Amino acid sequence: MKSISSMQLLLACLVVLFVSGCASLDTVFSEAPEKPEAAQQSSDLAKETEQASEGGAAQGEQAQVVVDPLQQKVAELRAMPNLYLSGSPSVDETAKRQFRQAVTAKQENKPKVAETILLDLTQSQPGLSGPWVILGDLKMDAYTALPNSKWDQKQELLQQAKTSFEKAIKANQHNYFAHNRLARVLRELGLFEQAEAHYKKAIASWPAYDNAYLNLGILYDLYTDKKAQALSQFELYQALQEKPSRQVRGWIADLKRQVRTASAGGAQ
């Protein structure tokens, strides 16, 4: 029996994600959380016997169950629909093959080859948003690789990435990957209010999309100095993880100290 290489497995996963509407390379190794049942609160009846003034009477009272509000919120988020995946179009075999070729080219650090294939896909499959997202990713890869001394070139790449992500959203308004990536571009351009709006649109398209909470928290913390809002976003992100992030745990602890200090200072 032939063994399946890690690259073959990667490509197979990407094709499945592409067919289902996922256009993001950073989701290959994680699956969307399963839709849980609505949070159930159960309690046992506890009997308390008390003496009434006119005679003793046993009264049954329902014990109160303490529910973690954050976990309750997460359960509600996970129960909400993923609007992107639920409205994904079908993809023919030719498009799947082209997409595999583009992914291989990107993995082999051949961005021009990948770009050519993806642009062909946008012509043959104009209703798909995924190719535009990856085209934007190619521009952001190039942007990140350039030193800050190449300012003009970096700004041009940001604008090209912005255009690609906007076209992805035009093809599918619920593509939360595109909203999340466009928000990063807008943040880099100093357009913080627009970035915030697109992070929120990503969350509206899939309320359990953890990366949007993380990035919105970073925007609040480092760029707009909204510490309390940043704290709530990081806590939601952390609660959505199967294995909480040690780094984010540190950010949360630091923000709690900052918020507490600010509150104490305001009370004086």
Ordered by start, the domain boundaries in the chain are 7-20+88-191
pLDDT digits (tens, 9 = 90+) for 167-192: 999 999 999 999 999 999 999 999 99
pLDDT, residue 87, reads 79
Q: Which residues make Cβ contacts (< 8 Å) with residue 137, sequence separation at least 6?
A: 25, 161, 181
Count of all residues that appear for the chain in the document: 268
- Exposed, middle or buried: residue 223 (CB in 10 Å: 0-12, 13-18, 19+)? middle
Grouping H, G, I as helix, E, B as strand and the rest as coil, residue 115 is helix
Neighbouring CB atoms inside 10 A of 259's CB total 14
Rounded CA separation 146/234 (Å): 30
Cβ 93 vs Cβ 15: under 8 Å: no
Helix, strand or coil, per DSSP, at residue 51: strand
User: Within 13 A of 45's CA, how many CA atoms are on the CB side?
Assistant: 6
Looking at 165-244, which runs of residues are DSSP E strands?
A: none
Q: Angle at CA 156, nearest 5°, toward 158 and 112?
A: 85
pLDDT tens sequence for the chain (268 residues)? 444 444 444 445 444 444 444 443 333 222 233 323 233 333 332 322 233 333 444 444 455 667 789 999 999 999 999 999 887 778 889 998 998 899 899 999 999 999 999 999 999 999 999 999 999 999 999 999 999 999 999 999 999 999 999 999 999 999 999 999 999 999 999 999 999 999 999 999 999 999 999 999 999 999 999 999 999 999 999 999 999 999 999 999 999 999 999 988 765 5
The architecture that CATH gives domain 7-20+88-191 is Alpha Horseshoe (1.25)
In sign, the C-alpha dihedral spanning 194, 200, 205, 206 is positive
Q: What is the pLDDT at residue 267?
A: 59
From CA 100, how far away is CA 18, in angstroms rounded?
10
